[in-house]
Amino acid sequence: MSNAPAPLDNMDLPMPSPRQQSWEMAKRHAGLQIGALIVLIALIWAIFAPLLAPSDPYVQDLANRLAPTVWQEGGSWEHVFGTDGFGRDVLSRLIWGTQVTMVVGFGAAVISGIVGTTLGMLGGYLGGRIDALMIFVINVKLAMPGVLIALSLVSIFGGSLLSITLILSLLFWDRFAVVTRTATQQVRTREFIAAAEVSGASRAWILFREILPNILNQIIVIGSLEMGIAILIEAALSFLGLGIQPPTPSWGILVSEARDTMFFMPHLIIIPGLAICILVIGINLLGDGIRDITEPQGRN
């Protein structure tokens, strides 16, 4: 009896599946929940802007300029956050502005993510001369003053949504590349990679089917950080008048336009500023939270 293979009944699994574990952790992770909520609201605003916004963000109502907010004296529910210097409803402009913010933020993070991750993985896995080349290119990029170059490029190519997104994505790929390169180097020493190589896996297979799923964690964290930064830089560019051009509502433009009335109608500058702040914090919380709950549930 003692020489028989382990009886089937004793093959219990002490640990729940990774998915279950992640779900359990998610239920308890306040940061993740808050972050997810914020990002979800932003997404809903961005997608359903035409339905949610109480009025057209472009329509001017010069008779009703600088109307007070609903909680101030004389305010009404027609303009919850009041109106701006041209009589346009602030809330509507805020909601429509979410579109710009999300497209730029998400787009820049995704594009730079794809570029940076691919380069980082290639360098980390292939090593040797290709890796040396990657490092060289990354170093060149790191040495360049990013924002300055972005400004020059914007002045050349103009401030359309597409060009801003592409230009900003050029700024961030190096961070992805550095992190994924190191992460790839660590994963490639693990024995399951050797087992796949022995069985004839092509390089592409190993990179995208074996290594990538195992470094996704780190990519998500960097991605969320970069998305937050992209949003901030877009706002800064708009603020400087170099990014998205008015009258397109972008949160940066809202902040910029509110400069003139900053001292006697501070809510006009605080509201978009706060929106930027909350969204960036939300994105970071979400990224951290996802990283926390998907940490490899490794050794027992």
* Contacts to other proteins by CB under 8 A: 1-8, 10-18, 21, 24-25, 190-192, 194-201, 205, 210, 213-214, 296-300
Distance CA 54, CA 266 (A): 22
The DSSP code for 206 is: I
- Position of tokens 């605080």? 270
Of 15 and 142, nearer to other proteins (C-beta) is: 15
Of 145 and 200, nearer to other proteins (C-beta) is: 200
Considering only CA atoms, which of 111, 222, 223 is closest in space to residue 168?
111
> How far from chain centre, in Å, is Cα 165?
12
Distance CA 135, CA 186 (A): 17
Min. distance of Cβ 196 from other proteins in angstroms?
A: 6
Of 77 and 199, nearer to other proteins (C-beta) is: 199
Asked if residue 276 lies in contact with residue 232, where contact means CB atoms within 8 angstroms, the answer is: yes
Considering only CA atoms, which of 77, 232, 59 is closest in space to residue 146?
232
Min. distance of Cβ 216 from other proteins in angstroms?
A: 8
CA-based radius of gyration for the chain:
24
Considering only CA atoms, which of 244, 273, 47 is closest in space to residue 165?
244
Phi, psi of 143 (to 5 degrees): -75, -15
Of 211 and 271, nearer to other proteins (C-beta) is: 211
Min. distance of Cβ 295 from other proteins in angstroms?
A: 10
Min. distance of Cβ 285 from other proteins in angstroms?
A: 19
Residue 260, both tokens: 């003139």
Min. distance of Cβ 143 from other proteins in angstroms?
A: 25
Min. distance of Cβ 2 from other proteins in angstroms?
A: 5
Question: What count of Cα atoms within 13 Å lies in the side-chain half-sphere of residue 258?
Answer: 26
Of 149 and 193, nearer to other proteins (C-beta) is: 193
Distance CA 185, CA 130 (A): 14
Of 129 and 299, nearer to other proteins (C-beta) is: 299
Phi, psi of 151 (to 5 degrees): -60, -45
Of 118 and 214, nearer to other proteins (C-beta) is: 214
DSSP 85-119: TTS-BHHHHHHHHHHHHHHHHHHHHHHHHHHHHHH
Of 101 and 117, nearer to other proteins (C-beta) is: 117
Min. distance of Cβ 186 from other proteins in angstroms?
A: 10
Min. distance of Cβ 223 from other proteins in angstroms?
A: 18
